[in-house]
C-alpha cells in the first residue's frame, strides 16, 4: 500500500506502508512522520519547505511487494543465499537461524548495505506473516 501527499509548490511525498503487519501501525507511523515535518514549518526553522526537498533524492520506498517472492520457500532460499549459500532450508521453522546468518552479512556495519538489509528484513517479514 502506498500513500502519497501533495502540497502545492513541493514535490509529492510518497510513503510505503508495509513495514509492519498491522496496517494501522503503518498508518500511525506515517502520521507521526508528517506531524514532525509540519512541526518544522510551525517553528519557522526553514524557508521554502527545505525539509520536503530531501525526499526527492530518495529512492521510492520498498514495502513487501506481492511479486518480490513467489512463496515462503522462495523467500527462505533468498535468505539462505545471502546468509550461507552452502545451507539451503525452506522450512519456516529454521527462519531464526537463516535470518540471523543473512542479517550478519547484510548489515551495513558488517560490510552489507541498507538496501540489502532492508530486503533481508522484508524476506523475514514475508515468511513470518505466512507469505503476505
Residue 9: Cβ within 10 Å count: 7
Does 14 share its domain with 51? yes
Does 16 share its domain with 48? yes
Per-residue pLDDT for 84 more than 70? yes
Does 90 share its domain with 124? yes
* Stated pTM of the model: 0.49
**89, 92, 93, 97 alpha-carbon torsion, rounded to 10°:** 60
CA 5/CA 91 separation, integer angstroms: 40
Give the pLDDT band of residue 107 (cuts 50, 70, 90).
very high
5-8 long-range contacts (CB < 8 A, ≥24 apart) are 5/34, 7/49, 7/52
pLDDT, position 42: 62
Per-residue pLDDT for 60 more than 60? no
pLDDT, position 17: 62
- For residues 117 and 111, is the Cβ–Cβ distance under 8 A? no
Q: CA distances (Å), 126 to each of 12, 74, 90, 101, in order?
A: 28, 10, 13, 17
Residue 16 in domain: yes
Per-residue pLDDT for 67 more than 60? no
pLDDT in tens, 22-57: 777 777 777 777 777 777 666 656 666 555 555 555
Residue 65 in domain: no
Residue 81 in domain: yes
Give the residue with greater pLDDT, 4 vs 97: 97
Residue 31: Cβ within 10 Å count: 12
pLDDT, position 70: 83
Residue 17 lies in domain? 2-57
Q: Strand ranges (DSSP E) for the chain?
A: 2-7, 10-16
Residue 30 in domain: yes
pLDDT, position 104: 93
Residue 42 in domain: yes
1 Cβ contact list (under 8 Å, min separation 6):
16, 17, 18, 23, 26, 63
Does 77 share its domain with 123? yes
Residue 31 in domain: yes
Per-residue pLDDT for 113 more than 50? yes
**Total number of domains in the chain:** 2
Residue 7 in domain: yes
Residue 124 in domain: yes
Amino acid at each position: 500500500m502506498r500513500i502519497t501527499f501533495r502540497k502545492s509548490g513541493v514535490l509529492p511525498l510518497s510513503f510505503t506502508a508495509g513495514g509492519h503487519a498491522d496496517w494501522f501501525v503503518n498508518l500511525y507511523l506515517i502520521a507521526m512522520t508528517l506531524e514532525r515535518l509540519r512541526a518544522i514549518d510551525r517553528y519557522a526553522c526553514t524557508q521554502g519547505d527545505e525539509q520536503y526537498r530531501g525526499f526527492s533524492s530518495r529512492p521510492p520506498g520498498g514495502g513487501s511487494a506481492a511479486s518480490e517472492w513467489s512463496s515462503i520457500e522462495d523467500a527462505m532460499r533468498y535468505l539462505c543465499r545471502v546468509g550461507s549459500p552452502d545451507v539451503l532450508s525452506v522450512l519456516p521453522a529454521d527462519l531464526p537461524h537463516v535470518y540471523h546468518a543473512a542479517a550478519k552479512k547484510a548489515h551495513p556495519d558488517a560490510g552489507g548495505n541498507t538496501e540489502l538489509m532492508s530486503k533481508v528484513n522484508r524476506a523475514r517479514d514475508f515468511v513470518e506473516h505466512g507469505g503476505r
